[in-house]
Amino acid sequence: MDIPVFGYTALTREANKIVPPKRFLRDAFFPRSETHGAATVAIDVEVGGKKLAPIVARGAAAKDVAKLGKQTNLVEPPSVSMKKSFSASELNLDRAPGASPIVVGVAPDEARKRKIARELQDMKDRAVRLQEWMIAQAIATGEIIGEFDGVELAYDFRMPSTHVVALAGDEKWDASTTADPIGDLKTQIRKIQRATGYSPTVAVATGEVWDLFLAADSVQSYLDARRISMGVVDRESDDELGITRHGRLLGVDLIEYNEYYLDDADLAQSMIPENVVVIGAKTPDNRMHYAAVDHIEAGGLVETEFFAHDWTTPDPSRYHAALKSSFLPGLHVPEAFVALKVA
């Protein structure tokens, strides 16, 4: 009996229903998404917007004012395409990790559906993890630079150099007796407010950075002077997002984010660069852009976040399932972020 294929319509629908893995950066800073019906996306980078309105004499003609500053770039988001192949026995006899090896009452069709659903989940998890890496790169450097299987990524969001800051000497947070971490945060928070009009809500870094923060003499003095106990600036875990909240200071949540990915050498790499704290404001403009996906059977370009399809081959006899997407985080307001290298 032939193994039936589900078709791109059903698989794409299911792929977009799959709940993604934890993605704190995406949810915190790029909660919106936008799909496009073309292979390219216009990324508008907003600049300026702080001019005062002109004053004119009553009855006088209106004065010309400069248009809002925007730098528009027509870019092609990178394409992600993955597939998995299975023999008939792998589809029909497979069981989930931890499940009993003796499964009673599960029809072959149901077993296949469960197996394919798990494999689609894994492929979507990989894509979402790539999105999180891209966002981390964008907000920490103003660029997305990388190479994947010979394909180079190079996107520059024109983040001002004043928003990528490195402390030096006794200012570094590992100089616990001279560092002023709260003063550093305050300086960068005000920089974002003045540049964009938005107030930062999050400062995110790895656990090692927050260890340095809390160990600084000036931080301890600040907390003591305001009678803030370590029970207020304390660890509060959110397992669903994979973060730890260390409290709230200066109107900003101090977030520990230790998520990592495996590089080409299978070495663990931190999503947030080491010794860097990223201070960011939520804006209505930053979002995840999805370009159209190419698929002839579906009519050419398909406007969707994720596209899935399946097929079979006779020799060797295999079932194949694939997941495709084309996405790019649009850092439309780069001045809403500051990356501060603290050690």
20 and 137: one domain? yes
Distance separating alpha carbons of residues 213 and 132, to the nearest angstrom? 25
Does the pLDDT of residue 281 top 90, yes or no?
A: yes
Task: Name residue 274's amino acid.
Answer: E
103 and 17: one domain? yes
pLDDT in tens, 104-116: 455 667 778 888 9
Highest mean pLDDT among 95-109, 219-233, 329-343: 329-343
Peptide bond before 316: cis, by omega within 30 degrees of 0?
yes
124 and 216: one domain? no
Query: Are the CB atoms for 275 and 209 separated by under 8 Å?
Result: yes
**Which is more confident, 305 or 68?**
305
Distance separating alpha carbons of residues 172 and 339, to the nearest angstrom? 14
186 and 309: one domain? no
Does the pLDDT of residue 22 top 80, yes or no?
A: no
279 and 238: one domain? yes
Task: Give the mean pLDDT of 34-55.
Answer: 73
Does the pLDDT of residue 55 top 60, yes or no?
A: no
Domain encompassing residue 205: 170-284
Give 3-state DSSP helix, strand, coil % of the chain, rounded to 5.
30, 30, 40
Cβ atoms within 10 Å of 314's Cβ, excluding its own:
7
Query: Are the CB atoms for 2 and 289 separated by under 8 Å?
Result: no
Query: Are the CB atoms for 327 and 80 separated by under 8 Å?
Result: yes
pLDDT of residue 56: 46
Residue 61 lies in a domain: no
Total domains present in the chain: 2
37 and 90: one domain? yes
- Boundary residue ending a domain (263, 284, 305): 284
Residue 81 lies in a domain: yes
128 and 104: one domain? yes
Residue 44 lies in a domain: yes
Cβ atoms within 10 Å of 181's Cβ, excluding its own:
26
Does the pLDDT of residue 165 top 70, yes or no?
A: yes
Give the domain CATH number at 200.
3.30.1930.10
Give the SS3 label for residue 248. strand
Q: Write down the pTM of the prediction.
A: 0.85
pLDDT of residue 107: 64
